[in-house]
Structure 1
Amino acid sequence: MIGSELDAAGVRDVNLRRAYRECRKLNAHHGKTFFLATRLLTPAQRPAVHALYGFARRADDVLDGFDDRTVADRADELQGLATALFTRLVEKRHCGDDPVLDAVVDTASHYRIDWQLFDDFLASMRMDLAVTDYPDRAALDRYMYGSAEVIGLQMLPVLGTVVPREEAAPYAAALGKAFQLTNFLRDIDEDLSRGRVYLPADELAAHGVDREVLSWCQRNRRTDPRLRAALVEQHALTRRVYQQAEPGVAMLHPRSRPCVAAALTLYSEILDRIEEMDFAVFAQRATVPTGRRLRVASVGLARALTARLRHREA
């Protein structure tokens, strides 16, 4: 299957094919919902998406691996990743043996994805080395621009648009933001275990919630009424971001719409699960059942095939 995708994408070099295969493995293993949605893209588009995911995953692993590396070790490793990407992508000089970088540089070059987007992403990743709390929405938004919105902007040239790209860009950025806000709600327990809180401190404080309350909830696997009220507010805000992003689906090339629509549906349904379990985010992890994911994917696949036939794209 991956061989046919690489053939469709015009990837002939043996080493590059190996690199893209590595990125696909990362996506399949770590990004199950995202990987499923990626299957709705044309074969020619998939390797590029795997490469972008693979690079983001590499940075994530530097930050979040539970091991004995110090903050300084992680900072050095992240800087090494940034330097290697800059050397390859901007200076056009090959350095080292890193299949993930091979693939993402090939993708960025082919789709003309600007270095600045990667630099902004890496800037937010560096924040995770030192920043553990965000005092207000503006501070969190600065972090999310690099950590989430630029992912949507990187994806845009791969997906294609039927309007000028700059017109579709705010919607692509909003969808990346909506996905990450969903993760913040779903993963509050896991993030707190890493010492981080990705909810604005002033908005939590308005409901009487601080670190002490969050730690109590985690220890007791319960959602304090004050935290529940705060999460209801954050949940509603995230819903509004999905609403802002949704009109952007129609701006994409028809072949890409089923994929993005499926991803939007599945991720937004994580919010449904959080609400259905009455915001018990420390008692269980909100997930969309496999059967539901497969049903959404099946509908998306039918629409994707119709779009490809209509536009004569296999």
Structure 2
Amino acid sequence: MTGELDAAGIKEPRLREAYARCRQLNAEHGKTYFLATRMLAPAQRPAVHALYGFARFADDVVDVPPAGATPADVAASLEQVAQALGHGLDDGRSQDPIIAAVVDCAGRFGIGRDLFDDFLTSMRMDLTVERYPTRADLYRYTRGSAEVIGLQVLPVLGTVTSRAEAAPAAAALGLAFQLTNFLRDVAEDYERGRVYLPLDELAAHGVDDELIGWCVANRRTEPRMTEALRAQIAATRAVYAQARPGIAMLSPISRPCVRTAYVLYSEILDRIEAAGHDVFSRRAHVHGFRKATVAGAALAKGIVARRLYRGSPAGAR
């Protein structure tokens, strides 16, 4: 971590500690993302850790509240996070380590406040919205919970086109990753009282809340649920197809990282299919050997790219 912070020009001791805390969160909770981050140039990694760390921090406020916390308590805690971030962005610093790192990152890479506002809007939705009648309703949520993550990371990765040209694909990739999570975590989300699949599309296959509950309770799928999940996987693959051209728009030193995340996360859909669409008795994941194979090849390409483009800024445009 020291070498990464040195490469990024982060010198102030408390700020270095803040970035180190974000890196720890990424390593503990975002294993696929963390693995992909290792493909980046050292100077890029702290910023990605900071963005992930803040997103995880805010998400945990909503999803992992202290024992005995009421919905009003959780809402108040989330507003404290929002206010602390706002003050931090105004002042350019914060006493909270997670916010201090993300504020510094936003300043270094010109990440707009509107992206953080959209993110926090979606976090607030999680406090009150438990079902999404249509895909349009779901996408109003994922705008802040997924698409803006891709847009926040884009200036860190750098582009060979204008940032505006690369933005739609970056947003689509963030969306594809989250839709994949929704499919993998149907049971876990249901047990938290939420369904992140469009209800009208489920209903087209005869799936309602009662049937999802039955699948969760019995830890197995059912033919109507299987058909609904098959359709959701097809819709998610279409989003990955929208995102794929964006990889070539990135700085060459960033492409191996994003391609690794793209491949490994999209293969979770393959694992769901291979398990007969049973997302109720097991959690689909890509096995370690496959991760090592993909990451090893990407790491080699990343090293070559960094040597070829040594001295080139991450964000060319």
Q: Which bin holds the TM-score, normalised by the shorter protein?
A: over 0.9
- Counterparts of 2:195 and 2:37 in 1: how far apart (Å)? 30
Q: Tell me, yes or no, if structure 1 residue 41 matches structure 2 residue 37.
A: no
Find the aligned partners of 1:69 and 1:202 in 2 and give their Cα distance.
Answer: 33
Q: CA deviation at 1:88?
A: 1.2
Q: Distance in 1 between matches of 2:293 and 2:235?
A: 27
Partner of 2:315: none
Q: In the alignment, what sits opposite 2:211?
A: 213
Q: Which residue of 1 aligns with 2:86?
A: 86
1:93 CA drift (Å): 6.4
User: Residues of 2 paired with 1:277 and 1:224: CA distance?
Assistant: 13
2:126 partner SS: helix
Distance in 2, Cα, partners of 1:265 & 1:114:
29
TM-score by length of 2: 0.97
Please give the per-residue CA displacement for 1:79-117, whole angstroms capped at 9, x wherever unaligned. 11011111110x21655x310001000000000101100
- Per the TM alignment, residue 69 of structure 1 is displaced from its structure 2 partner at its CA by 1.3
Q: Partner of 2:20 in structure 1?
A: 21
Superposed CA offset, 1:2-30 (max 9, x none)? 00000000000000000000000000000
CA distance in 2, matches of 1:162, 1:206: 43
Distance 1:258 1:278 in 2: 31
Distance 2:220 2:4 in 1: 46
TM-score, normalised with respect to structure 1: 0.97
Give secondary structure in 2 for the equivalent of 1:300.
helix
Tell me the secondary structure at the aligned position of residue 78 of structure 2: helix
Deviation at 1:219, TM superposition (A): 0.7
SS in 2 for 1:287: coil
Measure the CA separation in 2 of the matches of 1:223 and 1:98: 44
Q: Are 1:262 and 2:266 counterparts?
A: no
- Tell me, in whole angstroms, the C-alpha distance in 2 between the residues paired with 1:289 and 1:69: 36
CA shift for structure 1 position 222? 1.2
Deviation of the 1:286 alpha carbon: 0.2
Distance in 1 (alpha carbons) for counterparts of 2:92 and 2:36: 34
Aligned to 1:248: 246
Amino acid at match of 2:129: V
Could you tell me how far apart the structure 2 residues matched to 1:16 and 1:192 are?
Answer: 38
Letter of the 2:62 counterpart:
L
CA displacement at 1:239 relative to structure 2 = 0.7
- 2:167 counterpart residue number: 169
Q: Which amino acid aligns with 1:76?
A: A
Q: Which 4+ runs in 1 deviate beyond 2 A?
A: none
Aligned partner of residue 288 in structure 1, secondary structure: coil
Structure 1 residue runs of 5 or longer lacking an equivalent are none
Q: In structure 1, which of residues 285, 301, 305 is the aligned counterpart of residue 299 of structure 2?
A: 301
Quick one: distance in 2 between partners of 1:103 and 1:181?
28
Question: What SS class does the counterpart of residue 78 from structure 1 fall into?
Answer: helix
Q: Is 1:75 matched with 2:75?
A: yes
Q: CA deviation at 1:313?
A: 4.7
CA deviations on 1:159-207 (whole Å, 9 max, x unpaired) are 0000000000000000000000000000001100100000001001111
Which structure 2 residues correspond to residues 1-314 of structure 1 after superposition, within 5 A?
2-65=1-64, 67-89=67-89, 91-92=90-91, 94=93, 97-313=95-311
Question: Following the alignment from structure 1 to structure 2, what is the Cα–Cα distance between the partners of residues 68 and 54?
Answer: 25
CA RMSD of aligned residues (A): 1.0
1:68: Cα distance to partner?
Answer: 2.2
